[in-house]
Structure 1
Amino acid sequence: MSDIVDNSNVIVDMFTDAALKLARQDHFINRDGHCLFCDESIEPSQLFCNRDCRDDYEKVERLKRIQGK
C-alpha cells in the first residue's frame, strides 16, 4: 500500500520528466544583431526590437509546441 510520500515522489518524478522534455526541445538562440521576430537591426545584446515582437514570438513558439513542431 502506498503512502503520501510515495504519491508525492510519483508527482515529483512526473514534473521532473516534463521539465527535462521541455529543456531538450529548446534551441539555442543566435544573437546576431537582428530581432528574432521581425529581423530588424538591433543591439547584439538584445533579442527583440520591442515588447510586441517579443510577445508575438512567444505566442508563435507556444503554438509550435502545442502543435508538436
Structure 2
Amino acid sequence: MSDIADRAGWRIEKDVQNARAHVSKQALLESDGRCHFCDELIAHALLFCNVDCRNDYDKEQAALRRAGY
C-alpha cells in the first residue's frame, strides 16, 4: 500500500515543480490603468476591462508560445 502512496506523493511533487517552472517563465503583468488586450482605460487595480479581453489575451499568448515566441 505504501508503494501507491509513495508514487502518488512523487507524482504530486513533480506536478508542483512543473507548475512552478511554468509560472516562473511567464511574464507578470503590471496594472497601468489600461486593458492589456484592447488598451481601454480601466481602474488601476485591474489588468483587463472584462473577461472576454482576458480570455482573448490568454489565447493570443498561448498561440505565441506555440509559435515559439
TM-score using structure 1 length: 0.73
Give, in angstroms, the shift of residue 36 of structure 1: 0.3
Question: What code does the residue aligned with 2:11 have?
Answer: I
Q: Please list the CA deviations of residues 1-36 of structure 1 after superposition, one character each: whole Å capped at 9, or x if unmatched.
A: x82122112211221221111121122212111110
Matched residue count: 68
- CA RMSD of superposed structures (Å): 2.1
Counterpart in the other structure of 2:29: 29
Q: Report the Cα distance in structure 2 between the residues aligned to 1:50 and 1:3, rounded to whole angstroms.
A: 47
Runs of at least 5 residues in structure 2 that lack an aligned partner in the other structure? none
* TM-score (norm. length: structure 2): 0.73
Q: Which runs of 5+ in 1 are unaligned?
A: none
Does residue 35 of structure 2 align to residue 42 of structure 1?
no
1:68, distance to aligned residue in structure 2 (A): 4.6
